[in-house]
Structure 1
Amino acid sequence: MKILVVGAGGIGGYFGARLLRAERDVTFLVRPRRAAELAKTGLVVKSKLGDIALPAPPTVSAEKLKGPYDLVLLSCKAFDLEGAMTSFAPVIGPGTAILPLLNGIGHLDMLGRRFGKDIVLGGQVAISLTLDPEGRIQHLNDGLSLSFGELAGSRTPRIEAIAAEFAAAGIQAGRSETILQDMWEKWVFIASAAGITCLMRASIGDIVAGGGAPLAVTLLDEISAIATLNGFLPRPASAQRARAMLTAAGSPFTASMLRDVEGNRAVEADHVLGELLKRGKDGRYPVLTAAYAHLKAYEARRARIAI
């Protein structure tokens, strides 16, 4: 299977590195700056699941890209999706599958409009990754959870073929017949975690210590209500797990969006929180609204200072 990994940041670099180490046919579509980093230091992953060091990973720039590819593994930030689609459009053939590992749900509509709904799969991953100043990928937690599937829930030959590629690389990837439900449940959690840790500018443990656990629960309930309005009531196990994580005393957990705020980087405010408010069907969601406004104020200040 010929695989194009769009970007070699945290998620793309991590999964691409593991596939490449297993001698899968992988090429990274990267921008010039990342290509220069990889040429200098190689693709390096530091993980409790096993370190990887690939001195010369195959890379290609958008203007030199040729296809088609069998699988496009897409893991860019949601605000970069439009540009990413333009960059890899030339390699999309009739047999190509696009597997996006982005936050939220809105990207499925964008990809479907551009390339056709039948080409797009659903996917979700739970893993904590970051790049250090030298561009090395740091795996911050102890494990990962990856699932993917056809949006209609069917088991197809291409799903089995992709699963075989992941299995060859030692990546435990679940083939899901309920991938939209899985994606919504992940969205509920990450939006709640991002919303409360950014709003309070603190870890979950510090929020709990400061008396903010009820606020975190209220935010989770608001977002769960939006999921339910859209036909995706969180299943009991997912709901219980999210509530426990958002109210855990002493927890050092912070959302990656808070780390982006603290690093003065762009955030997915519109895609993770704003999109939920759009899908809320005119309901009242005061904590979610406050968290979203907080992030939009951050974006406005960041833009003003940059001018």
Structure 2
Amino acid sequence: MKILVVGAGATGGYFGALLARAGRDVTFLVRPRRAAVLRERGLRLTGSGEDEVLTPRLVTADRLTQPYDLVLLSVKSTALEQAVEDLAPAVGPGTAIVPLLNGLRHLDVLNGRFGKEAVLGGVAKVITTLNDEGDIVRLAPLAVLALGEQDGGASARTEEIRTVLAGAGIDASVSPDILASMWHKWVFITTLSTVTCLMRGEVGDVVAVPGGSGIGPAVLAEGAAVAAAAGYPVPESERDLTTALVTRAGSTFASSMYRDVVSGFPTEVEHVFGDLTARARALAVPTPLLDLATAHLRVHQHRVGARR
């Protein structure tokens, strides 16, 4: 199976590195600047007991000329439109695209460009980041990937992809309802990001102040209400897990969006928050805390844009 990983950041870079380490036929589609870093330093994995340097096969958009069997799309939503154009030559009649973005808006973009039959749903849960040198730092053991047909159910191609991923040491599964899985992660991400971005602190910092332990559950209730109204209720077990994570005393847990905010980087506010709150309005679900977080992140985005 010829695999193209679009993006070699914290998520795509990590899963792509596992595929490369296992000897899979994997190529990374990267921007010229990232390609220069990877050619100089290699693809480096550190943290959680990992310390490895790989020499990845790289390609830039101007040199992409052939179709691939599998495309793992892992870019920031702000780079989605350009990534779609860049990867187009890699999509042939039998190509399967597995996007690993948060939210759901990207499915509309990909379906419109390549056709729904080429696009699977995907959910990645991995706690990684890039350090100042561009190395991938694994911050916690969690690293799983789920995929599935947009219409639900398993298929020969999803099982084939799962087998290839699992054979490379990736904890991969086929979800019987991938859209539900994507909704549930969306609720989790917006809950954690609201707590940490709005309060400007890690979970433990928020929980340590009077009233702080109630913020996470209140935001979770809003997001879960939107998901339920859309037809994808969050299971009680997942709600309990999220509640525990956002109310844990002393926790250093924080969202990647929080790290972007404190570093002065752009965020995925429209793709993750703007789209969710717009759906909430359409479904007549009140979301005051999510609305506040959206406004807060939009102000941050405006300030970042004004400096560039």
One fold, TM greater than 0.5? yes
State the distance in 1 between where 2:253 and 2:62 align. 40
Runs of 4+ in 1 over 4 A off after TM superposition: none
Give, in angstroms, the shift of residue 34 of structure 1: 0.8
Pairing 1:8–2:43 present: no
Percent identity at matched positions?
48
State the distance in 1 between where 2:159 and 2:293 align. 40
Structure 1: state its 5+ residue gaps.
Answer: none
State the distance in 1 between where 2:179 and 2:84 align. 21
Partner of 1:250: 250
Give, in angstroms, the shift of residue 49 of structure 1: 5.9
Do 1:49 and 1:142's aligned partners in 2 also have CA atoms closer than 8 Å?
A: no
Do 1:195 and 1:273's aligned partners in 2 also have CA atoms closer than 8 Å?
A: no
| Cα-to-partner distance string for 1:213-269 (whole Å, 9 max, x where unaligned) | 222221111111111110011011111111111111221111110100111111011
SS of equivalent residue, structure 1 residue 279: helix
Query: RMSD between aligned alpha carbons?
Result: 1.2
State the distance in 1 between where 2:51 and 2:40 align. 18
Give, in angstroms, the shift of residue 109 of structure 1: 1.2
State the distance in 2 between where 1:47 and 1:150 align. 33
The amino acid across from 1:304 in the alignment is: A
The count of corresponding residues between Structure 1 and Structure 2 is: 305
Partner of 2:135: 136
State the distance in 2 between where 1:263 and 1:145 align. 27
Do 1:17 and 1:52's aligned partners in 2 also have CA atoms closer than 8 Å?
A: no
Do 2:153 and 2:177's aligned partners in 1 also have CA atoms closer than 8 Å?
A: no
Do 1:49 and 1:143's aligned partners in 2 also have CA atoms closer than 8 Å?
A: no
Give, in angstroms, the shift of residue 285 of structure 1: 1.4
State the distance in 2 between where 1:303 and 1:172 align. 38
State the distance in 1 between where 2:191 and 2:119 align. 26
SS of equivalent residue, structure 1 residue 284: coil
Distance 1:178 1:248, change over 3 A: same
Partner of 1:212: 212
Partner of 1:273: 273
Distance 1:5 1:20, change over 3 A: same
State the distance in 2 between where 1:75 and 1:91 align. 15
Alignment of 1:111-126 (within 5 A): 111-126=110-125
State the distance in 1 between where 2:236 and 2:80 align. 32
Partner of 1:88: 87
Pairing 1:167–2:166 present: yes
Partner of 1:28: 28
Structure 2: state its 5+ residue gaps.
Answer: none
SS of equivalent residue, structure 2 residue 11: helix
